[in-house]
Structure 1
Amino acid sequence: MTQRLPPSLTPLDAALAALLRGIDPTRPVELPLTEAAGCVAAGAPLLAAYPQHDIAATDGWALHANELIGASAYSPLLLATAPVRVDAGDAMPAGCDCVLDIDAVEMSGPLAQVLAEGVPGQGIRRAGSDIAAGLTAGAEGHPVGPADLLLADLAAVDRLSVRRPRLRIVNVPDTATTADMIAGIARAAGTDVKSFETAARDEASVADALDASSCDLLLTIGGSGVGRHDAVVTALARRGEVIAHGLALQPGRTAAIGRVGNVPVVALPGSPDHALAAWLALVMPLIDRLSARRLRRQVTWPLARKIASSVGIAEIALLAEEHQTWMPLAVGEWPLQAMARADAWLLIPASLEGFAAGEPVDAYLMRE
């Protein structure tokens, strides 16, 4: 049976509120550092100081600065004992507080001449200078980034507490390119992605794949429109509940939302631009709720030129940064080249006709 969009589309705000109703954050899990990247921190461990003791920051000779006063190439300082040669990362020998370059000391048999002065701390990383004791790796409610992983690794922390929602993606045949794009974005957003493809595009095949027993969020890709072979919405009604089909959102008008048991379901259109728009407007807020992520950062800059929008439907504009202004690339309909070039996106509420040139707008970054 072919689905038909209702004559009045569901407002985006109403659809999102219904989708988020009753959704709580997932339980924290402990993950190795190699798997925690991108996940939202559920706590931040206190780190030990690093380095734990003074170490050489460069290759050279370990010496005591006060003993080198006046040394120069014109007035070499003869040392009673040979200095200790160190490599970067070596612990500093007792009584030494600087490291001179290799060519600053001349060795002639057992004799050593110093050709330059040194200052305390030169060529050294002091204990606790990179990581102060009590510093945390990451911040609760924020994604774990490369710098957080570096700090944790240096401080010998091998696991982090994060929230990683389990995401099941069901791909209807002939939409593999869109499914691959969404799966990549989902992994970067810190979700545990499992992807499946239905055996065919018919209702029974799709319904068989709508298994919500081991996921926190279920996505379908393709088959949500009103074509003769679009069966996702009827399959969802068969397995669970359809909350809304046909949203006042452009791109993304043919997206649908529902539930299978207590698990939210978002049916994304097969077209890449419509799928990405529905991801930004519907799926991203769901993942943020499941991850207990704090509010995403917005960047406010003036528009380089005006944006016109239709009242009664929410539209998403793609923006590029140009000299600290937002240049609109596409509104409502997105060429693929605009998607590739976009630095940010802007949701235009259904109540507005757009924004004037020079008006400051709050945009979300495409890549954080």
Structure 2
Amino acid sequence: MTNAQRLPASLTSLDVALAAALRDVAPVASVELPLAEALGCVAAEMPLLSAHPPRDVAVADGWAMRANDLVGASSYAPLPLTAPPIWVEAGDAMPDGTDCVIDADAVDATGPLVQVLAEAIPGQGVRRAGSDIANGSAMLDTGRRVSARGLLFAQAAGLQTLRVRRPRVRLVNIPGGLATTQFVAASARAAGAELEMRAAAGRDAASIAKALDGGDCDLLLSVGGTGVGRSDATVTALAARGDVLAHGIALQPGRTAALGRIGATPVVALPGAPDQAFAAWWTLARPVLDRLSGQRGRATVQLPLARKIASSVGVAELVLLKRKDDQWVPLAIGELSLDAIARAEAWLLVPGGAEGFAAGTPADGYMVGE
């Protein structure tokens, strides 16, 4: 076994390690952000909204009328009007006393009297007041992530800002793990983090410790240097600056990940290998970020497994899943290729105490896009 393949002498169970990482971690204070900056963040206190639209509006171009006045009108029995109708364009507020919009060709204005040639029903061609947003409703549930659809809702309601939780995350790249660092950075931003990027000058403990120092953040992440090889010094640097809670997690892939604290700030040291970092991100780093964000649960989709999953007892194993014919098809377990990571739609964790799952077992897949 080479130095790069060596593992820590003992492994901490994933459950124990995660509990230690989450201990005393609380949601960060909420901030008010412009709508564009709030995308991906977790909603905090949401204001109660006024009705939208505030009054009935036309959804089609045509003549604004009152439906009860048009009963019996047809091309065979035109209904003469005592007053000319009002023309409205889509989006216009409906004139008082009207409740429908009829097509242009349903009104004949060529003769001495304006005549209506068709009936209508109340609400035809009209969007009712409060039909998009009910008066007193909340834009989003607290603890839910702000999506592009949520921003559309907020813009329609006339909001300029949203109150959200946006944890400050510092991400330290250890030389040699740039591609993995970019993946973690993109994942953290997508999860609503305010990201500060740093690069250690070298792989030695002093350089890494210097990159860990200084500036406030809510979560500190590092990528690379977590093994026990001669050039792996991240855990040594962490120990010099704070406390190492666990190094070596009973997780496959991701065994060389480490957890710690510098002061009150939780630290997750991710391995540099893409597959190990992917697993450690989802099972260790992301739960801490979710706690800081105040997020209430992550999106899962339950489907039966298309085939059996076999796993080794004693180590939690990550399984990549792809949906096919309303079933979860396992793409990879434990050893994750980049191709499988790229094609996966969800992931599933086989607990360390389980030998796997039988075919047909309902499985909650955590969606990798959430």
> Fold match, TM over 0.5?
yes
Q: Are the equivalent residues in 2 in contact too, given 1:5–1:245 (CA < 8 A)?
A: no
TM-score (norm: length of structure 2):
0.93
Cα shift readout 1:53-89 (whole Å, capped 9, x = no counterpart): 1111112111122222233333433434332221111
Cα shift readout 1:217-274 (whole Å, capped 9, x = no counterpart): 0001122223333222222122222222221111111111111111111111112211
Of 358-367 and 275-284, more deviation after overlay is shown by: 358-367
Q: CA deviation at 1:323?
A: 2.1
Runs of 4+ in 1 over 4 A off after TM superposition: 1-4
- Residue 325 of structure 2 is matched in structure 1 by 323
Of 109-118 and 258-267, more deviation after overlay is shown by: 109-118
In structure 1, the gaps of 5 or more residues are none
In structure 2, C-alpha distance between the alignment counterparts of 1:211 and 1:48, rounded to whole Å: 47
Q: Are the equivalent residues in 2 in contact too, given 1:3–1:233 (CA < 8 A)?
A: no
Cα shift readout 1:123-144 (whole Å, capped 9, x = no counterpart): 0111111111111010112212
Q: Are the equivalent residues in 2 in contact too, given 1:212–1:218 (CA < 8 A)?
A: no
TM-score (norm: length of structure 1):
0.93
Identity of aligned residues (%): 59
Alignment of 1:257-296 (within 5 A): 257-296=259-298
In structure 1, C-alpha distance between the alignment counterparts of 2:4 and 2:242, rounded to whole Å: 18
Pick the aligned partner of 1:308 from 305, 310, 323: 310
- Residue 174 of structure 2 is matched in structure 1 by 172
Q: CA deviation at 1:44?
A: 2.2
In structure 2, C-alpha distance between the alignment counterparts of 1:212 and 1:333, rounded to whole Å: 36
Q: CA deviation at 1:110?
A: 7.9
Cα shift readout 1:290-339 (whole Å, capped 9, x = no counterpart): 12222334333221111111111111101111222211110001111211
Q: Are the equivalent residues in 2 in contact too, given 1:246–1:255 (CA < 8 A)?
A: yes
In structure 1, C-alpha distance between the alignment counterparts of 2:302 and 2:194, rounded to whole Å: 32
Give the RMSD, CA atoms, in angstroms: 2.1
Amino acid in structure 1 at the alignment position of 2:219: L
Q: In structure 2, the residue corresponding to 1:169 is in which secondary structure?
A: strand
Q: In structure 1, the residue corresponding to 2:250 is in which secondary structure?
A: strand
Q: CA deviation at 1:280?
A: 0.8
In structure 2, C-alpha distance between the alignment counterparts of 1:40 and 1:153, rounded to whole Å: 17
Q: In structure 2, the residue corresponding to 1:180 is in which secondary structure?
A: helix
Q: CA deviation at 1:354?
A: 0.8
- Is 1:248 the counterpart of 2:254? The answer is no
Q: Are the equivalent residues in 1 in contact too, given 2:8–2:256 (CA < 8 A)?
A: no
- Is 1:357 the counterpart of 2:359? The answer is yes
Q: Are the equivalent residues in 1 in contact too, given 2:31–2:164 (CA < 8 A)?
A: yes
Return closer, same or farther for 1:336/1:102 CA change in 2, 3 Å cut-off: farther
Q: In structure 2, the residue corresponding to 1:108 is in which secondary structure?
A: coil
Q: CA deviation at 1:24?
A: 1.5
In structure 1, C-alpha distance between the alignment counterparts of 2:132 and 2:42, rounded to whole Å: 24
Alignment of 1:84-233 (within 5 A): 84-108=86-110, 112-211=114-213, 213-233=215-235
In structure 2, the gaps of 5 or more residues are none
In structure 2, C-alpha distance between the alignment counterparts of 1:361 and 1:65, rounded to whole Å: 53
In structure 1, C-alpha distance between the alignment counterparts of 2:45 and 2:5, rounded to whole Å: 45
Q: CA deviation at 1:102?
A: 2.6
